[in-house]
Amino acid sequence: MRVFVNKRIPEIGLKIMKDNGLDVFIPENDNLSDEQWLKYCQDSDLILNVGFHKFDRDFFEQCPNLKAIALLSVGFDHVDIKEANSRNIPIGNTPDVLSVATADTAFLLMQSVARRSSFYFERVKNGEWGDFDPLFALGQELTGKTLGVFGLGRIGFEMAKKAKYAFDMNIIYHNRNHNEEAEKELDAKYVSFDELVAQSDVLSIHANFKPEQSELFNAEVLKKMKPNAIFINTARGGFQNEHDLYEALINNEIWGAGLDVTNPEPMSKENPLLGLSNVCVLPHIGSATEEARNGMAKMAADNLVAFSKGEKMPNCANE
Ligand code: DGY
């Protein structure tokens, strides 16, 4: 079976597929236009896809020979799973292997915003080291504060664990279900969404994104947060209304924001959030560690190899 891999991935994934008899195709120049990408998808049995191309009905209709897709991501909000199900197309994803890396990124953003690191780094680069000023641009300490986790699954758990052990933070969370492990090990407390919003000193989003949650964090919700609160999002940018986030920040309704995901992506360099000193933005690099990317490449390859042998994918997003 021919596998189209749309970008270079760690060697381990390519080796697994080749060793198992798959005919792996990666274009020489992997900076593909949407048209080229679609054409290669149409010519393949299997796809190992990097990035967030839309896999919707229109796509599936244009690729009648496609048999399976392995995503190089845990998130699959860009795939119409119902449509894939109706065509018996399994969609593999990569849970667990990127949980630590993504939680590390949320943790990094939390500290970076709390201590205004991007602001100070800009000043140093601009030759504005400044004198020791006891009152200038002070940060806040995280020790003993309350971390609110929206979506306490694998990544949320890793974030909560780091916050608990590094800063002795109190953990509250809102989730579809209770997370007994977090309650037992981290003394995490389940709260309603409104309580989460009102009580968090840091609110960190780790939920899977669903279309009905589009811009859930809007003016109405942000107004209910504490004025010292830090908003962190390493999940999906669709959770936030960025106009409202900007207003909340400039009106001191919240204290700062750390975003690894934006709405839309990529964030325009004209986005006013980038002009604020209490905002830190990263370009969706949550899983960008060697360990996570190797794990993701292996998992995606394992998914396709299993499918090619007539087995169930070990990590499959289909309901
Ligand atoms: C994922 O896996 O869903 C991440 O957002 C990509 O790194």
The protein residue with its alpha carbon nearest to ligand 1, atom 2, reads 73
Instruction: Please tell me the predicted confidence (pLDDT) of residue 123.
Output: 97
CA 50–ligand 1 middle distance (angstroms): 10
CATH code of the domain made up of 99-281: 3.40.50.720
**How far apart, in whole angstroms, are the C-alpha atoms of residue 251 and residue 233?**
20
**Is ligand 1 within 6 A of the CB of residue 99?**
no
Q: What is the mean pLDDT of residues 75-99?
A: 97
Which of the residues 53, 236, 253, 293 is marked catalytic? Answer: 236
CA 287–ligand 1 middle distance (angstroms): 6
Instruction: Please tell me the predicted confidence (pLDDT) of residue 86.
Output: 97
Topology (CATH) of 2-97+289-308 = Rossmann fold (3.40.50)
**How far apart, in whole angstroms, are the C-alpha atoms of residue 50 and residue 71?**
6
Q: What is the mean pLDDT of residues 278-285?
A: 98
Q: Per-residue pLDDT for 193 more than 90? A: yes
Question: The tokens of 15 are what?
Answer: 């080796």
The protein residue with its alpha carbon nearest to ligand 1, atom 4, reads 73
Interface ipTM: 0.96
- Report which of 160, 150, 148 is spatially closest to residue 103, judged by C-alpha positions: 160
Q: Per-residue pLDDT for 82 more than 80? A: yes
CA 180–ligand 1 middle distance (angstroms): 25
Domain ranges of the chain: 2-97+289-308, 99-281
pLDDT, the chain, mean: 97
Instruction: Please tell me the predicted confidence (pLDDT) of residue 226.
Output: 98
154 assigned to active site:
no
Topology match between the domains 2-97+289-308 and 99-281: yes
Q: Per-residue pLDDT for 115 more than 90? A: yes
The pLDDT tens digits of the residues spanning 27-74 come to: 999 899 999 999 999 999 999 999 999 999 999 999 999 999 999 999
CA 299–ligand 1 middle distance (angstroms): 13
CA 8–ligand 1 middle distance (angstroms): 16
**Is ligand 1 within 6 A of the CB of residue 74?**
yes
Phi, psi angle pair for 281, to nearest 5°: -120, 135
CA 285–ligand 1 middle distance (angstroms): 8
Instruction: Please tell me the predicted confidence (pLDDT) of residue 9.
Output: 98
**Is ligand 1 within 6 A of the CB of residue 175?**
no
- Asked if 280 and 258 touch (Cβ cutoff 8 Å), the reply is yes
The pLDDT tens digits of the residues spanning 150-177 come to: 999 999 999 999 999 999 999 999 999 9
Instruction: Please tell me the predicted confidence (pLDDT) of residue 219.
Output: 98
Q: Are strands 46-49 and 91-92 parallel, antiparallel or unpaired?
A: unpaired
The protein residue with its alpha carbon nearest to ligand 1, atom 1, reads 73
Instruction: Please tell me the predicted confidence (pLDDT) of residue 319.
Output: 73
**How far apart, in whole angstroms, are the C-alpha atoms of residue 163 and residue 154?**
15
The pLDDT tens digits of the residues spanning 207-262 come to: 999 999 999 999 999 999 999 999 999 999 999 999 999 999 999 999 999 999 99
Which of the residues 11, 181, 265, 291 is marked catalytic? Answer: 265
**Is ligand 1 within 6 A of the CB of residue 93?**
no
Phi, psi angle pair for 177, to nearest 5°: -125, 165
Which of the residues 53, 206, 284, 293 is marked catalytic? Answer: 284
Q: Label each residue of the chain as H, E or C.
A: CEEEECCCCCHHHHHHHHHCCCEEECCCCCCCCHHHHHHHHHCCCEEEECCCCCECHHHHHHCCCCCEEEECCCCCCCECHHHHHHCCCCEECCCCCCHHHHHHHHHHHHHHHHCCHHHHHHHHHCCCCCCCCCCCCCCCCCCCCEEEEECCCHHHHHHHHHHHHHHCCEEEEECCCCCHHHHHHHCCEECCHHHHHHHCCEEEECCCCCHHHCCCECHHHHCCCCCCCEEEECCCHHHECHHHHHHHHHCCCCCEEEECCCCCCCCCCCCHHHHCCCEEECCCCCCCCHHHHHHHHHHHHHHHHHHHCCCCCCCECCC
Question: The tokens of 298 are what?
Answer: 């292996």
265 assigned to active site:
yes
Output b/e per residue, 92-106; b: 16+ Cβ within 10 A.
bbbbebbbbbbbbbb
Question: The tokens of 147 are what?
Answer: 């971390």
**Is ligand 1 within 6 A of the CB of residue 98?**
yes
**Is ligand 1 within 6 A of the CB of residue 286?**
yes
The atom of ligand 1 lying closest to the CA of 288 is: 7
Q: Per-residue pLDDT for 283 more than 80? A: yes
- Specify the pTM: 0.97
236 assigned to active site:
yes
The protein residue with its alpha carbon nearest to ligand 1, atom 6, reads 73
Question: The tokens of 162 are what?
Answer: 């780091």
